[in-house]
A and B are shown apart, each in its own frame.
Chain A
Amino acid sequence: MEKVTLRVFRGDKTGGEMVTYEVPKVPGMVVLDAIHQIQKEQDTTLACRWNCKAAKCGSCSAEIDGKPRLMCKTSVDEFNGQPITVGPMRAFPLLRDLVTDVSWNFKMAAKIPPLQVLPEMEGKPFVLQQVDVDRVQEYRKCIECFLCQDVCHVIREHNRKDAFFGPRQMVRIAGLEMHPADRINRREQLKAEAGVGMCNITKCCTEVCPEHIRITDNAIIPLKERVADDYYDPVAGLLRSIGVLPREKKAPFNSVPNEQTKIAAQGTGKKGG
């Protein structure tokens, strides 16, 4: 029977090494199947996070031959019989083997206030036309696999977790900032703690997104343009100040009740370790 050779990272935060395994190849096999085969037949202590095996839960993120990918969506046939290297996401603290602590992402998400409904819509059923929510729906395809966060060089290479929320949170903020029923000016947060200016548009987040969300073109760049409207466009600023352009209609960001973001201190999340 044809075999698949895998080199899998084994170790924890104190160190580790690549261990070679061979598993029998079966038709339609994906890398996650091979990892499960190792767990079942060869080494039950191999740690990996997974849930749906259908590219919808976003749990089995890893780096396969150096590229951030979902293990359940990566066919072993792609590698033409060559050994497949599987390691953990490198942007997050390692727990064990292929499992990393991604709780930082949930803490950043918790700093983003949820939808703050317009006063005229409060307490009533949402009546929105499809054309109003089409754009926002793209952002809601996100499965929170955090591959975009892992590949983002601001987080991964420069370790500026203190200055940038990352592409996933940009998508989340875009979904709220562009929501027709939201009343908060989120550009204040974008320019300040969320750090949209840290992104230099190299589009790696878009390249790795398993949901094919055009993160850079449809979320980050439109947000950068909105921030430019408010903070960098001198003519727009002048026209706003003399009343030619309409002034900001949304409520200031600091009008959000503090308890909306207190979850940040709790550090909880579906995959938070």
Chain B
Amino acid sequence: MATQQAPPRGTVRIEAPDNDRKDSYWVAPTAILATFAVFVIYSTIRAFMGKYYSTYYDGHSFAWMAANLRGASAIRPHYWSPFYSPYIPGYFPFLKALKIGSWPLSAALYVMVFPLAFRASCYFCRKTYYRAVFRDPEACAVKEKFARLNYTGETKLPARAVNLHRYTFYIAVILVIFHWYHLYNAFFYSQYGQTHFGVGLGTIIFLVDTVALTAYTFSCHSWRHLVGGVINRYSRAKSRFKVWSGVSKLNEYHGQFFWISLVTVLIADLYVFLVSSGRITDIRFF
């Protein structure tokens, strides 16, 4: 009879020879890594750009806007980039004067840290970047290059900070409210100084983005816990059980909502950039 003891620290796993995975397990983490790279590069450029984030005045007059939005006869759709929403310097005007050297501080930098924190501490996103970026593990049952006995998971800082995911969720809810505000505005356009109801391609993009972001936010695991996951006896909390059941159903698709909203928010910002910089004209349906 072999030993009943657990193997001592330092004992490596059984190296049964030649039984590695034969499927293309590396495709998914590689594709995810490429997607993340595209998003990070694009959003970094846009975050520091500091212009082309609005297609209409909305109470704020930007120098770059006058140069690229043509005269009063042109249709000006009411689009505002999600990367610059909410427009913090609009509420705190002294921020407009802040500079890094001679470079004015972009309004996006005050905002983007919050969705970044929400996504970075998201339970689904953690899976994707632990696999694709840190290769810890790259895929299931695949040998890790950096297997180590001092592995601590999420028990030490900075990884332990992900336990505060619920606070990033609270802020994400505020951002979602602003998304809906910008979606509402996107159903209007200006011409000859008058505001009219209408729908353009940007409106559709904003609609899809806002719905995707709302679904992603409210399918969050922390939200699921807060609305009812903490309860043990649902027969005494029937209304919370109903809400928890609904969130649980949404939660099954949390990963899909994560990817969809990541892509749609990029497309929404890109579309606003293209229109506001004069590279394309908004496609109007009515």
Contacts and interface: CB of A to CB of B under 8 A. Distances in A.
A233 B183 CA distance: 33
Interface string A197-230: 1111111100110000000110001101111110
Interface of B: 1-4, 6-7, 9-23, 123, 126-127, 130-131, 136-137, 140-144, 147-149, 151-155, 159-160, 163-166, 221-222, 224-225, 229-230, 232-235, 238, 241, 251-252
A158 B149 contact: yes
B264 to A, nearest CB: 24
B153 A107 contact: no
A197 B153 contact: yes
A18 B17 contact: yes
Contacts of A153: 136-137, 144, 147
A224 B160 CA distance: 11
Given A87-B16, A222-B224, 17 more contacts: A7-B18, A9-B16, A16-B17, A66-B21, A68-B140, A88-B16, A92-B14, A101-B4, A151-B141, A153-B137, A157-B137, A161-B6, A162-B6, A204-B141, A216-B123, A217-B252, A221-B221
A156 interface: yes
Interface in A57-94: 63, 65-68, 85-94
Contacts of A132: 232-235
Given A158-B147, A159-B149, A232-B164, A222 B229 contact: yes
A167 to B, nearest CB: 12
B216 to A, nearest CB: 15
B16 A207 contact: no
B14 A66 contact: no
A24 interface: no
Contacts of A182: 232
Contacts of A63: 16, 19, 141
Contact of B19 (A9, A227, A273): A9
Contacts of B155: 195, 197-198
A216 B80 CA distance: 38
Contact of A18 (B19, B21, B147, B252): B19
A88 to B, nearest CB: 6
A159 B12 CA distance: 7
19 contacts: A13-B2, A66-B21, A67-B21, A92-B14, A107-B6, A134-B234, A157-B137, A159-B7, A159-B147, A162-B9, A198-B151, A198-B153, A199-B154, A202-B131, A207-B140, A221-B225, A225-B230, A232-B160, A232-B164
Given A85-B18, A198-B153, A200-B130, A159 B140 contact: no
Contacts of A18: 17-19
Contacts of B9: 159, 162
Interface centre among B9, B13, B15, B123 (most CB of A within 10 A): B13
A273 B147 CA distance: 28
A67 B147 CA distance: 19
Interface string A129-171: 1011010000000000000001101101111111010000000
A221 to B, nearest CB: 5
Contacts of B127: 201-203, 216
B137 to A, nearest CB: 4
A46 interface: no
Contacts of B225: 221-222, 225-226
Given A9-B16, A92-B14, A201-B127, A154 B153 contact: yes
Given A90-B13, A197-B154, A158 B163 contact: no
A23 interface: no
A7 B17 CA distance: 11
B141 A156 contact: yes
Nearest to B241: A131
Contact of A201 (B16, B123, B142): B123
